[in-house]
Amino acid sequence: MTDHEGRLRHHRIAADGSIGDTLSFSILREEWPGVRAGLEERLRR
């Protein structure tokens, strides 16, 4: 899962005044078991 669904450009302003984008991602129900397994593996490292 590397592709993002959408981008809010210049959406957030940090405490230092810099402006950043926010990316949104989605996971389909049938994708969740694989995504969860990958996240759990990363947490075990």
CB-based contacts of 25, cutoff 8 Å, min separation 6: 1, 4, 5
Confirm whether 1 is domain-assigned.
no
Question: Which pLDDT value is given to residue 1?
Answer: 46
Confirm whether 23 is domain-assigned.
yes
Which structural domain, as residue segments, surrounds residue 19? 6-44
Question: Which pLDDT value is given to residue 2?
Answer: 59
Question: Which pLDDT value is given to residue 3?
Answer: 77
CB-based contacts of 23, cutoff 8 Å, min separation 6: 4, 6, 7, 8
Confirm whether 32 is domain-assigned.
yes
Confirm whether 34 is domain-assigned.
yes
Question: Which pLDDT value is given to residue 40?
Answer: 97
Question: Which pLDDT value is given to residue 4?
Answer: 80
Number of domains in the chain: 1
What are the pLDDT tens digits along the chain (45 aa)? 457 889 999 999 999 999 999 999 899 999 999 999 999 999 999
Q: Please give the Cα distance from 10 to 22 (Å, whole number).
A: 8
Confirm whether 39 is domain-assigned.
yes
